[in-house]
Chains A and B, each alone.
Chain A
Amino acid sequence: MLGKTAGGLYWMFRLLERGENTARMVEAGFRMALTRSTDSETEWKSVVTTSGVRAGYDAIHDQYTAKEVIDYLLRDTRNPSSVLSVSKSARDNARLVRTALTTEVWEAVNENWMVLTDLLKDTIQEKDLPAALATIRQHSALVRGALHGTMLRNDIYDFSRLGTFIERADNTARIIDVKYYTLLPSVNFVGSSLDNVQWETVLRSVSAHRSFRWLNQGDMTASAIADFLILDRRLPRSLAFCISQVVDQLDALSDDYKVTLPCNEMARKLDQGMKSRDIGGIFEDGLHEFISTFIGKNNALAMQIETDFRFNK
């Protein structure tokens, strides 16, 4: 496979994952704003921060209103991570790697772009937001379904999945990081009712509030939630799950290509680092520190993958 093609696949799925996550963040923020009467400004600000687009947003807006944030995250083409921008770049990448995709996957990505371009051509009214977000989620599910249902389980699939999980790990980590900053200056605050609402938003941001409740029967403590999001391998958006998937895909590539590369070792180390920790220890050493370190390592791993498989010249 061409290095460029591997890179195209990897980025295509990173971008699709990013778009889906952004939509989910908007959904959580919107719900938060609806259910709480005060200070939705802070909430929207943290949504922007978590999406990693603070600088771009601040450059054109002075405040964090629902309307402006939603517009910026969903359909502003000045924001390279907006759902609209991302659907376009994902499709560009799909065009680039068209020969590596099944017709079903290509058509799903193409249609995702066509539908979202139409859906997001005008500002979304508040009353239409839930339906719009549902459409975004649905089309991203269609792409994923086409990938699972039709693609050969070879290196093409491995690079696609790598993109998904590297991006997802980064996204979940940033959600935890931002919430930690604004809401948990000290462990003593854990368990207050304010935190519960905030943490529920966090869970919603990763579509995990129902599964969490189901597993924990309402034990809404910060440490239980952090444990769930960071270490629980049953949750498909937890850091531990994402990293174990990255390890699996890299191992599959290593078997297929009959080479062991530096990224294999890096991923395994990161995975070991997860397995050897418990949540108590993580809180003791500092959640923020743990998360920042994780984000850095995940990033370094991503760069190593790009180098090892010659994505770029």
Chain B
Amino acid sequence: MMDKNKQFFDEMVAGTDTVTDPYIGYNKWFAEQDPDHLTRKSQEAETFFRRSGITFNVYGQAEAQERLIPFDLVPRIIAEREWAKLSKGIAQRVTAINAFLHDVYNRQEILRAGVVPYELIAKNDAFLPQMMGFSPPGKVYTHIVGTDIVRTGPDDFFVLEDNARTPSGVSYMLENRETMLQMFPELFSRVRVKPVSTYPDSLHRALCDCAPPACTGKPRVAVLTPGIHNSAYFEHSFLADQMGVELVEGHDLRVVDGRIAMRTTLGYEYVDVLYRRIDDEYLDPLNFNPDSMLGVPGIMDIYRAGGITIANAPGAGIADDKAIYSYMPEIVEFYTGEKAILKNVETYRCAEPDALKYTLDNLKDLVVKEVHGSGGYGMLVGPAASKQELEDFAAKLRARPANYIAQPTLSLSTVPIFTNSELAPRHVDLRPYVLVSPKGINITPGGLTRVALTEGSLVVNSSQGGGTKDTWVLEE
């Protein structure tokens, strides 16, 4: 994966040693710091995360099941005008996604118009026939979206994934900022940064704004988690805590008088909006996977009858499917009447013979992803793979081509990390968090910056050894 000759766009240093505009204030501050002091601060941050239990679980590892996501103390800084453009593009895309979902589950105009092939929807596991003809409260399907964005140049932003199911990581966005505020309070008085701490309140409000018809009075929200062994459990409890709502598991809930109710010490009480952090498949053993122990039997029927709001809506995953992704520019244009502001990464759908041939011929230069995969599992990064790995993957591709898409390896931008007492560039991506309600779209300024800690590596996933940074949008 290392390509010494390739020039990557560094967000902090342009050319040889000119600091870019957004980083000028930070750079000045940094120059005044004693590197040993920063090293100590970095260790302090780790202790802070451990003590607070901000950990994630790694699947398939018996030892050390709880890990920290490494935190780098150099912020990733975005200028206000860059952010303005980005957020406009994200809002456009998320608006289109919601319109697309409503269309796909109702009149299916986009399929009739031939913009998106019918089979791509009908044969897709993420498509839920149970949602046909149903409009969720407020017509919102994706209450929470985490749009993965990569940058390759000053004005080149690409959307890598749309994450319209249950995007995770927002707790890190919030805790990273808290950590920075604790460690370097003086820095924030020198550089004005837009706050992110409003997120939990905004989330609560967005969920309440989508209360179901059966709700009378103040909506009651709960967060549904698979339980303490889930990799993102910390985040589930964090969000429930920050919103001041109950954190429930499937066995805390049941159907009572046509509503979903949770078992309290005083009996059953209705829940109006359920922010679920379990996959569609496990949501309702009566309607989906009958073996699921995580869900609530019958919740889909209550949902369709207007007794509860489920966020994100079941079936929303059809919009962030990697095969649908390649049609996103057309989807945006179809519903908004405008050209997509944010670019899509060129995508080869291996289901198509030409694309498969191209992919096989150029495997060592491409990134190949499973259509339904996530978290960096089951993915091939061509330039980093060994000959054997390439051969094995080619065999998988030939066996099930429709299961894969391929994309060119992007020259992801770099941002410095603090390592060995100095700054060194590492590749990053960005996941801003978007809230959707009938009242509009709310994008928290910033998001989660994931950083590949290994020199030259392009894989930023936390499950694959990536770290995170605080992400600043400047107040100018």
Q: Which of A68-124 contact B (CB under 8 A)?
A: 92, 95-96, 98-99, 103, 106-107, 110-111, 114
Q: A1-B264, A2-B264, A110-B53 are in contact. Are A99 and B240 (CB under 8 A)?
A: yes
- Residue picked from B249, B252, B265, most chain A C-beta under 10 Å: B265
The answer to whether B241 touches A4 (Cβ under 8 A) is no
Q: How far is the CB of A154 from chain B (nearest CB, A)?
A: 11
The answer to whether A2 touches B262 (Cβ under 8 A) is yes
The answer to whether B251 touches A110 (Cβ under 8 A) is no
Tell yes or no: B1 within 8 A of A by CB.
no
Q: How far is the CB of A122 from chain B (nearest CB, A)?
A: 16
Tell yes or no: A313 within 8 A of B by CB.
yes
Residue of B51, B52, B53, B263 touching A4 (CB-CB under 8 A): B263
Q: Which of A1-37 contact B (CB under 8 A)?
A: 1-6
The answer to whether A99 touches B247 (Cβ under 8 A) is yes
The answer to whether A92 touches B246 (Cβ under 8 A) is no
The answer to whether A259 touches B266 (Cβ under 8 A) is yes
The answer to whether A155 touches B241 (Cβ under 8 A) is no
The answer to whether A1 touches B265 (Cβ under 8 A) is yes
Q: How far is the CB of B276 from chain A (nearest CB, A)?
A: 16
Interface secondary structure of A, over-half rule: helix
The answer to whether B52 touches A110 (Cβ under 8 A) is yes
Cβ of A214: which chain B residues have Cβ within 8 Å of it?
none
Can you list, as one digit per residue, whether each of B44-66 has a CB less than 8 Å from chain A (1) or not (0)?
00000011110000000000000
The answer to whether A96 touches B52 (Cβ under 8 A) is no
Tell yes or no: B267 within 8 A of A by CB.
yes
In Å, the complex CA distance between A114 and B52 comes to 11
In Å, the complex CA distance between A114 and B48 comes to 13
In Å, the complex CA distance between A216 and B233 comes to 53
Q: Which of B239-283 contact A (CB under 8 A)?
A: 240-241, 246-249, 251-252, 262-267
The answer to whether B249 touches A110 (Cβ under 8 A) is no
Cβ of B52: which chain A residues have Cβ within 8 Å of it?
103, 106-107, 110
Cβ of A99: which chain B residues have Cβ within 8 Å of it?
237, 240-241, 246-247
The answer to whether A6 touches B265 (Cβ under 8 A) is yes
Residue of A95, A110, A310 touching B51 (CB-CB under 8 A): A110
The answer to whether A95 touches B251 (Cβ under 8 A) is no
Q: A110-B51, A257-B265, A310-B265 are in contact. Are A4 and B237 (CB under 8 A)?
A: no
The answer to whether A98 touches B247 (Cβ under 8 A) is yes
Residue of A3, A98, A111, A155 touching B237 (CB-CB under 8 A): A98
Q: A95-B228, A114-B50 are in contact. Are A155 and B246 (CB under 8 A)?
A: no
In Å, the complex CA distance between A103 and B237 comes to 12
The answer to whether A313 touches B251 (Cβ under 8 A) is yes
Tell yes or no: A309 within 8 A of B by CB.
yes
Q: Which of B23-69 contact A (CB under 8 A)?
A: 50-53
Q: Tell me the nearest residue of chain B to A110, going by C-beta.
A: B53
The answer to whether A95 touches B237 (Cβ under 8 A) is yes
Cβ of B267: which chain A residues have Cβ within 8 Å of it?
310
Q: A2-B246, A4-B249, A4-B252 are in contact. Are A95 and B263 (CB under 8 A)?
A: no
In Å, the complex CA distance between A2 and B271 comes to 12
The answer to whether B228 touches A155 (Cβ under 8 A) is no
Q: How far is the CB of A252 from chain B (nearest CB, A)?
A: 13
The answer to whether A95 touches B266 (Cβ under 8 A) is no
Residue of B238, B249, B252, B265 touching A155 (CB-CB under 8 A): B265
The answer to whether B265 touches A96 (Cβ under 8 A) is no
Q: How far is the CB of A112 from chain B (nearest CB, A)?
A: 11
Cβ of B263: which chain A residues have Cβ within 8 Å of it?
2-4, 310, 313
- Residue picked from B52, B53, B238, most chain A C-beta under 10 Å: B53
- Residue picked from B233, B240, B248, B266, most chain A C-beta under 10 Å: B266
Q: How far is the CB of A89 from chain B (nearest CB, A)?
A: 11
The answer to whether B249 touches A95 (Cβ under 8 A) is no
Residue of B51, B53, B248 touching A2 (CB-CB under 8 A): B248
Interface pairs (5), CB distance under 8 Å: A4-B248, A4-B263, A98-B53, A98-B241, A107-B51
Which residues of chain A have a CB within 8 Å of any CB of chain B? 1-6, 92, 95-96, 98-99, 103, 106-107, 110-111, 114, 155, 257, 259, 309-310, 313
Q: Given contacts A1-B264, A4-B251, could you give 7 more A-B pairs where the C-beta distance is less than 8 Å?
A: A2-B246, A3-B265, A4-B248, A92-B228, A96-B228, A99-B240, A310-B267
8 tightest A-B CB contacts, nearest first: A98-B237, A309-B265, A99-B241, A3-B263, A95-B228, A110-B53, A6-B265, A99-B240
